[in-house]
Structure 1
Amino acid sequence: MKNKNFFFLLFMLSTVLLHAQNGRLLIVGGGSEKNGANSWSTPAYKWAGEGRRVAMIGTSTGSLAPYFKQQCGAAFAREFAVNSRAAADEQSLYDTLMTYQTIFFRGGDQYDYYNYYKGTKLLDAVRQIYQNGGTIGGTSAGMHILSEIVFNARLGSAYPDECIEDPFNKYITLADDFLDFVPGHLFDTHFCERGRFGRLTGFLANYSFTKGMDIVGLGMDDLTCMTIDEHGLGTVFGTGCANLYIPGSPFSQHDTKLLVDSVRVVQLLHGCTYHFKTGEIGLGTLTAELYPEDMITKGNYTVFASGTKLLQKNLALLNDLQNHTGTVTDPVLILTGDLALANLYKDELVMLGSNDLVVRQIDGSSADDPELSQLILRSPKIILLSNTTEALRAFIPTANGLLLKDKLQSDGTIAAFLGDDARFAGKTVVDNFYEEYASYYAELNFEQGFGLLDQTVIMPNTFFNSDMYENSATAVPYAMARDTLKYGIWLTDENYFRFSNDGSGYKLHGYGKAPVMVLRNEGGKAGFSSRTSTGSTSSAPRMVAGFEKLTFSLVDHSVPYELGSNMVGTEEGITSDEIRLFPNPADTHFFVKGAGQGFEFVMMGMDGRQLSSGEGSKDEPIRLDHLESGMYLVMIREKNGGSFQAMKLVKL
C-alpha cells in the first residue's frame, strides 16, 4: 500500500512539473534606455513587453511607462512606487499585479528591494506571474535581485579594490533567500563602467568560502542586457558584454588578500547566447580567431612594475630592488620626467644603501647624449619614473632610446617601471586612459612599449578614480584582442610585481596588500563591440572586446604565476628569421646573427655619413678598430633579396 501511495505521489508530481510553465527574464546592466527601433534597449524591452500589460516597480516612480508603450508596444504600462514592507504586503497590490504579464524592477537600491519585498505578497505575485509564463525584468539594482544569490548591499556598495584585498570585508553581504529564478548564479551590473571584475570575483570567493560551493557570476555591462526565454536561453543585446565568471580552481587567501589560479571568463557581445541551464555558449558575433603566441624573452633580466608612482607605496619595491636583487653596489640610473620626485626616490635609495646613483631627465636633448649612453651601458639597475607618454614616444626611436631598449633586454639588467611607466614594460601601451569616457567614446590610444613582457599589456593605477574605471577595465582585454596578446595585467596602488627567471622559466611574483590581476587568452574566438547606444552608425562603438576563452588569476609571491617559459638567449637562441648584432655593445668586432649564409652591410655615423661597407657571413667578424667609441647605424641586407634591417650599434 505504501508503495502504491509513493508511486501515485510521484505520478502527480511529475504531472504538475510537466504542466508547469517557466517564465521569461529580462536582465539589464543599467544605463538609460534609448528611443528608436535599433537602440541598444528597444529590441529586448519590446521582447519583454510587446502586447502585454507591464508593471514597473521601484521605491519611487520613474518615466519608463511611456517608453514601454510608445517604443516597445506594451498594451498598458504603469509605474508602482512601493517603499515599505507594509505597502509590499498589501492584498490589493497583489491583486492588481496579478492582472499584469510583465513585471520590471527599476534601478535604485537593491537593499531596499530586498528589505521591503522579501516574504511579501508583492514577491508572491512576481513568482506567480513567472510560473504563469510571464516575464520578470530588472535594471541595475533591479537586475541584482533576480539571481538566486544576491548581493543585497545591506551595508552599502562594495568596491572592487576592497573585494580583492579582502573577500570577507564587511561590505560583501550576500543572500540566497529572495528569488530562485536563476539557480547557481549571482548577478552584478554596471560591470565595466565601474570596474567590477575584481568585485564579482570577490563575491564568488566569499560564497565559496562560506557555503562550500561554487557559483557562476554574471557581470552585465551598462547599456547591455539579456533576454532569457522560457527554456533558459539567454541572448545578449546592446553595446557591451555579458561577462561570465566561472570558478575553475579553489579560492584561497594570503593574509587577507584573495588568490585564485583559474576563473574562466567568457565575454559575450550582442548576438551571443548563454544557456543558463546547460551552460552552453553561442558565440554569434565573435568571428575572429585569436591564438596568441607564447611569451618570448631575449635576455635573462628582471623587471619590477608598480601600480603607482607614490614614494610611500613603493618603499618595499625599492628595498627589494636595492638589497635583494643584483648587488647592493650596483650603479642605479633613474630616468625621469620629474626631477623633484626622482630626487626623493634617490634619497630613499641612498638611505637603503645605494652609493652609486644618477638621476637623468629624458627629453629631446638627451636623444643622442653620449654621457647618457655611457650611463645606460654602465648601469645594471635602471628605474623609469614619471615619464610622459609623449616623452617616451619621442625618446624610444632615438639612438639612446634604442640603446636603452637593448640594455633593458640584456642579461643581468634589473629594471623598475613605477606607476604609469609600468605600461612601457609590456608590448602594448594604453594611453589617454585617465580621460573620462575615453573607452566609451573610442578615444583610448595604443602604441608600442619596450616589450620586456612580450605578448602583454600592463595597466597601472587600475582603480585610481571612478571616472576612469571603464577605461582601465576595458583597455586590457581590448588591447589583447587588438594586438593578439596572450596576457593582460592590472596593477593597483597597493601592489607591484617582480618578473624574473627562476631557471625553469619566467615567473611573476606579486607583492603588497592587493593581489596582481592577470588575464590570459587561451585562444579561440573574439570580437569587438559594433553597437552604439542609439543604433547609429555615425559614431564609433565603445572599446569593448568579446572573448571565448579567458582565464582570470589573482596572484602574489606565495603562488607565483608562470608567465613565459619559451626563452630566447642573447646568442644561441636567436631565431633564424631575426637579424641581430652580437655582441652589442661591442669593442673590437661584432657578428651578424640570423641573416642566413651571407649579407651586405653598410655602417653609418649618426650624422648620416657612410663610414664603411662590405659583405660578410654569419661566422665572419666585422672589425670596429677604425671607429671611435659612440653610436653607429648598421644596415644589413640578406643576399638573394632577403630581409633588410637597420640597427643601432654601440662601439665601446
Structure 2
Amino acid sequence: MAVAPKRSYTSWIVGDTSDAKRQPLGGVVLAGGSTDVDAAMRWFLRQSGGGDVLILRASGSDGYNEYLYRKLGEAVNSVETILLRDRASSNDSVLIRKIRQAEAIFFAGGDQANYVNFWQGTPVADAVNERIKAGAVVGGTSAGCGILGQTYFSAIEGSVTSEEALANPYDKRVDIRRDDFLKQPLLDNTLTDMHYSARNRQGRHLAFMARAATDWAIRPRGIGIDEKTAVCVTPDGNVMVFGLGNAYFLQMTRKKPEVCTQNQSLSWNRKGKAVQVVTIAGSIDGAKGFNLTSFQPTTKAKKEYWYVHSGTLARVFIRASVRTKNGRIQ
C-alpha cells in the first residue's frame, strides 16, 4: 500500500475540493487589523468570481474557513486555510499547485517577520505573483496587509515605534525592503501600515517613507489603515473604505528629507509640506473618494500636510478639495 508523502504544512478545507476554474475579478483588500470587516470580506469573496479562496498564514488555525464559506452569505467553491511553519514548506509542490488554482488569496495576521522569512524569494511568492498577474484578488489583515506593498517594512529585527523610528530612521529595526516580494501593481512604491491610530504609527510611517525616498530616490506612497477598517481597491484603482475607522493616503511632495542619516533624528520639513495626506472615513457601505492609480482624491476629502522637525511629527490642515473633470484641484 502506497504511503502518501508527509506534507510540510497543515491544511483545512471546506467546500468542493476540486478546482473551480473561475474567472476572478481582481483587486486588493488592505485590512487594518483587529475585528474583520464583514462588508469588506464579502467584497473580497465576490471578487473571487465564486472560485477557490486560499488563506495563507504562519500561525493560528482555520478560523477563517467557516466565516468566509458560510457566515457571510457569499457563494464560493471552497475556502482552504494553509498553515506554513517554516521556509522549507514554501517549496512543497502540492502547496504551489493550490496557490496557482486559487481565485482569491488572503494573508492572515501574525508575525510579519515570519511571512518575510518563510515566503520572500520562494516559490510561494512566485506563485502568488503569478495569480496576481492572472487577475486573482489578494488581501491581508494586520501583518498580512503589511507585506502587500511593493515597498515594505520587514519586521525582521522586531517591531519599532514611531518615537524610535523618528529618533533614528536607520535604527536596525527600521528594515525597509523594495521590489523583492509581492508585486501587486496597485501598490507600486507603496508602504502599508496597520493598527494605525491605535498604535500611533503615523510617525514611523513617515520614517519608512523617508528611508525609501533617501535610499532609492523614489517618490514613496503610504496607506495607513485603522483597526476594524479595510480598504478595498478595484483593478482600476478605485477605493472603498469599509468599517469604523479611517484610511490615510500619504504621498511625498517633491523633495527628500533634509536630514535622514544614521543616529540622527529625522527632519523632513519642506516648509511644512513634506507629505500630503488624504483621510477617508470608513462606512458600512464603503466610502468612496480616492483612486490609487492617480493617487488623488475623487471627491471632497480631508487633506493635511505632515512633516517632521527634529524627530517630532507635526500636521497642517488643508481645506477639503476635489479633483474636477479638467484635472484641477479645487
- TM bucket (normalised to shorter chain) is 0.7 to 0.9
* Aligned-residue offset at 1:520: 1.1
Alignment: residue pair count: 283
* 1:281 and 2:297 matched: yes
* 1:264 and 2:276 matched: yes
Residues in 2 aligned to 1:57 and 1:143: alpha-carbon distance in whole angstroms: 12
Residues in 2 aligned to 1:488 and 1:108: alpha-carbon distance in whole angstroms: 29
Query: Residues 49 and 72 of structure 1 are in contact (CA less than 8 Å); yes or no, is this contact kept in structure 2?
Result: no
* Aligned-residue offset at 1:245: 1.7
Are residues 489 and 230 of structure 1, via their aligned partners in 2, closer, same or farther at CA, if it must alter by over 3 Å?
Answer: closer
Are residues 268 and 206 of structure 1, via their aligned partners in 2, closer, same or farther at CA, if it must alter by over 3 Å?
Answer: same
Residues in 2 aligned to 1:266 and 1:159: alpha-carbon distance in whole angstroms: 23
Unmatched segments (≥5 aa) in structure 2: 1-23, 323-328
Show the counterpart of 1:171. Answer: 173
Residue aligned with 2:268, SS = strand
Residues in 1 aligned to 2:311 and 2:100: alpha-carbon distance in whole angstroms: 49
Larger radius of gyration: 1
Aligned mate of 1:523, from 305, 315, 319: 319
| CA deviation vs aligned residue, 1:544-580 (integer Å, no higher than 9, x gap) | xxxxx9xxxxxxxxxxxxxxxxxxxxxxxxxxxxxxx
Query: Residues 109 and 141 of structure 1 are in contact (CA less than 8 Å); yes or no, is this contact kept in structure 2?
Result: yes
Show the counterpart of 1:63. Answer: 63
| CA deviation vs aligned residue, 1:453-493 (integer Å, no higher than 9, x gap) | xxxxxxxxxxxxxxxxxxxxxxxx9xxxxxxxxx9999xxx
| CA deviation vs aligned residue, 1:72-118 (integer Å, no higher than 9, x gap) | 52331111001222111111111122222111100011221111112
Show the counterpart of 2:259. Answer: 253
Residues in 2 aligned to 1:153 and 1:516: alpha-carbon distance in whole angstroms: 22
Show the counterpart of 1:44. Answer: 43
Instruction: Give me the identity figure in percent.
Output: 24
Amino acid at match of 1:235: M
Q: What TM-score does the superposition give when structure 1 sets the normalisation length?
A: 0.41
Query: Residues 25 and 49 of structure 2 are in contact (CA less than 8 Å); yes or no, is this contact kept in structure 1?
Result: no
Residues in 2 aligned to 1:198 and 1:105: alpha-carbon distance in whole angstroms: 25
| CA deviation vs aligned residue, 1:175-211 (integer Å, no higher than 9, x gap) | 1111121211111111111100001000011112222
| CA deviation vs aligned residue, 1:351-387 (integer Å, no higher than 9, x gap) | xxxxxxxxxxxxxxxxxxxxxxxxxxxxxxxxxxxxx
Are residues 65 and 22 of structure 1, via their aligned partners in 2, closer, same or farther at CA, if it must alter by over 3 Å?
Answer: closer
Query: Residues 277 and 306 of structure 2 are in contact (CA less than 8 Å); yes or no, is this contact kept in structure 1?
Result: no
Query: Residues 58 and 108 of structure 1 are in contact (CA less than 8 Å); yes or no, is this contact kept in structure 2?
Result: yes
Amino acid at match of 1:517: L
Are residues 56 and 112 of structure 1, via their aligned partners in 2, closer, same or farther at CA, if it must alter by over 3 Å?
Answer: same
Residues in 1 aligned to 2:307 and 2:90: alpha-carbon distance in whole angstroms: 46
Amino acid at match of 1:102: A
RMSD: 2.8
Amino acid at match of 1:258: L
Query: Residues 22 and 231 of structure 1 are in contact (CA less than 8 Å); yes or no, is this contact kept in structure 2?
Result: no
* 1:83 and 2:91 matched: no
Residues in 1 aligned to 2:166 and 2:226: alpha-carbon distance in whole angstroms: 20
Residues in 2 aligned to 1:48 and 1:30: alpha-carbon distance in whole angstroms: 21
Residues in 2 aligned to 1:168 and 1:488: alpha-carbon distance in whole angstroms: 20
Query: Residues 278 and 297 of structure 2 are in contact (CA less than 8 Å); yes or no, is this contact kept in structure 1?
Result: no
Amino acid at match of 2:256: P
* Aligned-residue offset at 1:66: 0.9
Show the counterpart of 1:124. Answer: 126
Residues in 2 aligned to 1:123 and 1:65: alpha-carbon distance in whole angstroms: 22
* Aligned-residue offset at 1:50: 6.3
Residues in 1 aligned to 2:171 and 2:105: alpha-carbon distance in whole angstroms: 34
Query: Residues 307 and 313 of structure 2 are in contact (CA less than 8 Å); yes or no, is this contact kept in structure 1?
Result: yes
Query: Residues 110 and 144 of structure 2 are in contact (CA less than 8 Å); yes or no, is this contact kept in structure 1?
Result: yes
* Aligned-residue offset at 1:40: 5.4
Aligned mate of 1:234, from 239, 246, 260: 239
Residues in 2 aligned to 1:98 and 1:489: alpha-carbon distance in whole angstroms: 43
Query: Residues 196 and 227 of structure 2 are in contact (CA less than 8 Å); yes or no, is this contact kept in structure 1?
Result: yes
Query: Residues 163 and 203 of structure 2 are in contact (CA less than 8 Å); yes or no, is this contact kept in structure 1?
Result: yes
Residue aligned with 1:55, SS = strand
Amino acid at match of 2:232: T
Are residues 488 and 54 of structure 1, via their aligned partners in 2, closer, same or farther at CA, if it must alter by over 3 Å?
Answer: closer
Q: Which has the higher contact order (CA 8 A, sep 6+)?
A: 2
Residues in 1 aligned to 2:225 and 2:113: alpha-carbon distance in whole angstroms: 19
* Aligned-residue offset at 1:160: 0.5
Q: What TM-score does the superposition give when structure 2 sets the normalisation length?
A: 0.78
Show the counterpart of 1:206. Answer: 211
* Aligned-residue offset at 1:57: 0.6
Unmatched segments (≥5 aa) in structure 1: 1-20, 291-476, 478-486, 491-509, 527-548, 550-652
Amino acid at match of 1:252: E
